[in-house]
Structure 1
């Protein structure tokens, strides 16, 4: 008898304990995670009969739907893509594109908030819903939205955009064209040059650049069909950095430098972030990644303006932002030289390029960038496998259909200033709209993975200055330098001097920009190819070159103090390039060694 009473007692205790645990679990607030982070909502979600109700506006807008609330009829109309969803308070039916669907629980007003059934709303908007019973978390993931152009292209002014196997490109002096991947098909769309090109659902969105003939049209946002018809003005003010994701156009308003969005049909224009002016931004998977103009921090915020989160510091004032996959890239010009990346949660930060970058783009796991010499490289997104793609490639680069498009603004060629090079560097072409594209030779200097520190030979000298006669004795070490583009056309010339018997030439950094090849001629009329650039300092305008197959060359004798800090102590006052004649006339260059 006592044993039976004991068993009953244990069972009752266990039942009470289980009931208490369930009560604690039931009292735990339900949390909703959308696109990887918890969603901040106006009110706490609630559960009825196994169905979760959430605040109407929070869930719709976090999934990029456009919402209209009719207070008179107590009804909701939401738009996303080609879907129109209608819900009404108290109704157990919803309408999707005119078709009725039953609801497990009706829309309700609770505490003054309109609450909607979460699972139905998320799934009808194309998202996947998962319930974590242990932690009482509802996880919602949405697929990738269609984009009008890549994040990296818009960073580089968006003068080219890919749609399928075709590229839309704005050509200098010609206008906007649609070309096939092989360049055989060419169709003129618009007679004016444009930027911020986005192509989506049969429409082209664009702005006119700052040098557009009509001042009143510069920077305004327009759209037209892919046939160049029905040109429509979308804004009455200038905009920058136009990103189109799904149904929405995101941009910076040039008047106040604040971040805005508007639907592609022109409805729903609103400010997303108006606290401070925006310096740079990009959009990816429901999040906007941005930096403020006068801050060095990177933040992310939902496309509806909620849930601002800090990711990292270390951005330069003019940092440019690109997003691809689970990483956000930014250049740190003005802070630390190079390109860095941080994961979308801000947990891991890594520098992947360690030199001055003029421009960069990210495509399919590779970072493409221009260095200070106008050389184009690509590296894996982890910073490995650096490969030279081309040279004499200036400033902004756009990528479409495995081609890298760029403009040579300094070209004197009457055929045009637009070029493209294959991302694997196997072919380079001049983009000609009045005839077939012209194949060009891909040629460039050999490259060292990273600049090497230089140890300069030195000789003791009690003098702080060299006399004219002493410099004249070193005339055989003076070099005449000439640079060439890929086609062998001369670009620039200058002078320098040799400091080592194996051919190490000190010269000015500025003359090397855009060079595909370099030749050096010494005073004894020996001419050598430059094998690679050993090191350089753009700020001090100095570079050091390594000659190819050079030995036993005359070298200038440098003072000991120059060896100790050569880039600061050397001041090249004048080395006149026509050295042979001038030395014979008794005129020499002067080197001052501090």
Structure 2
């Protein structure tokens, strides 16, 4: 989100899902915001891979993948080269704003504030405005699409991490006790907020309220409570099978949810439920991005506008769909010995295979079945080699984050919260009962530890 001349706007006007990229403590932004948001004229020379931006007689020229920028012929050295990410040209924010625009720049957790140098934005003096803007940003979405696709067991809110641990205390029962905790990222100040014999999932936080789905076995309802664990209320109370709410996505002023007979939305207080799509074969609601709802019917990914129009299929026969920054990332089970991670460009419909995994034994879909997209990286499990790995969103730089040969069970969820990776494993005890364990490690792979 960008604030310029007291106007709050999306960084990419045509795609509200596009966000800044942070690399080596430097922020890069898509060049599109300069042309559409600030009035610059931008030209791209594909032969020389050079971007030229002009405004009121001033010319800025940058060649991709170099550390040089020329402003009216004067050379400047960039801390981070401009480059192409997912087909969009990203440029260093501060270099453009301060050198090319001649203005001051402030960045905080996705919020960009551009101001005149004689009236520089001060995060201390202007703390009330900063808090208001950050609150407006955080109020739009309750959790990341990646975390929610992994059952929403973890969500970050400011300096706090909220997470769910489920223990199986009765063998062959099929469910145990679920605990909802709040703690600092390093594990300190841990506090139990809620527990029940059953399940909790889809953690989301909006306006200092926690939203989640909970219930015993097949008895789910939607709940809301304060972030300190007080004031828990039910937003739904099912009376029939069709009344049960299985999944939620909190976005903006609404809770979007799936029932057995369709897609719905309701206000954040549970009032005014509205059916968006009447279908009985919806499997999973994936994400809400801008005015689009993404969901699956069996193994196919669909989208529909939040007003119920423009219903269409996007991808067939894939799994673990994650919508991020104008793309859909997914896994696809080709055979018992072959799996891929791919992506779909939502603007062009182009599909790309990022990586293919081939195995000598019939490990099947469970080999690579959990992914989490965070910034420029795709984090994923490799249950065959007992590793957590990551690669760039273009499929390059595939590396091991952590070897997990000593953990119990197979990974069933990967979550990113700030500088930490959380992951959940499941160990089967027969056809019904299972045992879950929860772990965390730093995003660089260090400090891998079990959470008690």
* TM-score after normalising by structure 1: 0.44
Q: Which residue of 1 aligns with 2:273?
A: 269
Distance in 1 (CA, whole Å) between partners of 2:312 and 2:204 is: 28
CA contact (8 A) 1:314 1:332 kept: no
CA contact (8 A) 2:15 2:326 kept: no
2:374 pairs, out of 363, 367, 382, with 363
Q: Which residue of 2 aligns with 1:395?
A: 412
Distance in 2 (CA, whole Å) between partners of 1:164 and 1:227 is: 13
**Contiguous gaps of at least 5 residues in structure 2:** 1-12, 17-135, 168-177, 358-366, 430-435
> Does the C-alpha gap of structure 1 residues 341 and 145 become closer, same or farther in structure 2, counting only changes over 3 Å?
farther
Distance in 2 (CA, whole Å) between partners of 1:428 and 1:275 is: 43
Q: Which residue of 2 aligns with 1:437?
A: none
Q: CA deviation at 1:323?
A: 1.0
Q: In the TM superposition, what whole-angstrom CA distance separates every residue of 1:439-495 from its partner, at most 9, and x where no partner exists?
A: xxxxxxxxxxxxxxxxxxxxxxxxxxxxxxxxxxxxxxxxxxxxxxxxxxxxxxxxx
CA contact (8 A) 1:204 1:226 kept: yes
The reply to whether residue 381 of structure 1 matches residue 393 of structure 2 is yes
Q: Which residue of 2 aligns with 1:286?
A: 291
2:302 pairs, out of 299, 302, 311, with 299
Distance in 1 (CA, whole Å) between partners of 2:180 and 2:394 is: 35
Distance in 1 (CA, whole Å) between partners of 2:270 and 2:442 is: 37
* TM-score after normalising by structure 2: 0.57
Q: In the TM superposition, what whole-angstrom CA distance separates every residue of 1:197-235 from its partner, at most 9, and x where no partner exists?
A: 1111111111226xx3xx58x321111111222221112
Distance in 1 (CA, whole Å) between partners of 2:422 and 2:324 is: 19
1:226-237 to 2 correspondences below 5 Å: 226-235=227-236, 236=238, 237=243
Q: In the TM superposition, what whole-angstrom CA distance separates every residue of 1:283-311 from its partner, at most 9, and x where no partner exists?
A: 11221123322x64x33221111123443
**Contiguous gaps of at least 5 residues in structure 1:** 1-33, 38-141, 433-594
Q: Which residue of 2 aligns with 1:471?
A: none
Q: In the TM superposition, what whole-angstrom CA distance separates every residue of 1:479-533 from its partner, at most 9, and x where no partner exists?
A: xxxxxxxxxxxxxxxxxxxxxxxxxxxxxxxxxxxxxxxxxxxxxxxxxxxxxxx
1:349 pairs, out of 351, 364, 369, with 351
SS class of match (1:152) = helix
Distance in 2 (CA, whole Å) between partners of 1:171 and 1:379 is: 28
Distance in 1 (CA, whole Å) between partners of 2:372 and 2:421 is: 10
SS class of match (2:333) = coil
CA contact (8 A) 1:282 1:321 kept: no
Q: Which residue of 2 aligns with 1:330?
A: 330
SS class of match (1:342) = strand
> Does the C-alpha gap of structure 1 residues 144 and 241 become closer, same or farther in structure 2, counting only changes over 3 Å?
same
- Greater per-residue strand proportion: 2
Distance in 1 (CA, whole Å) between partners of 2:451 and 2:344 is: 36
SS class of match (2:147) = helix
Distance in 1 (CA, whole Å) between partners of 2:15 and 2:390 is: 30
CA contact (8 A) 1:205 1:223 kept: yes
> Does the C-alpha gap of structure 1 residues 143 and 163 become closer, same or farther in structure 2, counting only changes over 3 Å?
closer
SS class of match (1:265) = coil
Distance in 1 (CA, whole Å) between partners of 2:346 and 2:221 is: 32
Distance in 2 (CA, whole Å) between partners of 1:320 and 1:419 is: 21
Q: CA deviation at 1:411?
A: 10
Distance in 2 (CA, whole Å) between partners of 1:430 and 1:351 is: 34
SS class of match (2:146) = helix
Q: Which residue of 1 aligns with 2:189?
A: 185
Q: In the TM superposition, what whole-angstrom CA distance separates every residue of 1:540-587 from its partner, at most 9, and x where no partner exists?
A: xxxxxxxxxxxxxxxxxxxxxxxxxxxxxxxxxxxxxxxxxxxxxxxx
Distance in 2 (CA, whole Å) between partners of 1:279 and 1:154 is: 14
Q: Which residue of 2 aligns with 1:260?
A: 264
The reply to whether residue 429 of structure 1 matches residue 449 of structure 2 is yes
Q: Which residue of 2 aligns with 1:454?
A: none
Q: CA deviation at 1:378?
A: 0.7
Number of residue pairs matched? 281
The reply to whether residue 410 of structure 1 matches residue 412 of structure 2 is no
Q: CA deviation at 1:380?
A: 0.9
Structure of higher RCO (CA pairs closer than 8 Å, 6+ residues apart): 2
**CA-atom RMSD, angstroms?**
2.9
1:202-213 to 2 correspondences below 5 Å: 202-208=208-214, 212=216
CA contact (8 A) 1:272 1:304 kept: yes
Q: Which residue of 1 aligns with 2:311?
A: 308
The reply to whether residue 321 of structure 1 matches residue 321 of structure 2 is yes
Q: In the TM superposition, what whole-angstrom CA distance separates every residue of 1:136-162 from its partner, at most 9, and x where no partner exists?
A: xxxxxx989621111111111111111
Q: CA deviation at 1:419?
A: 1.0
The reply to whether residue 199 of structure 1 matches residue 220 of structure 2 is no
SS class of match (1:154) = helix
Q: CA deviation at 1:358?
A: 2.2
CA contact (8 A) 2:245 2:258 kept: yes
Q: CA deviation at 1:347?
A: 3.0
Q: In the TM superposition, what whole-angstrom CA distance separates every residue of 1:385-404 from its partner, at most 9, and x where no partner exists?
A: 11111224622112212211
The structure whose Rg is larger is 1
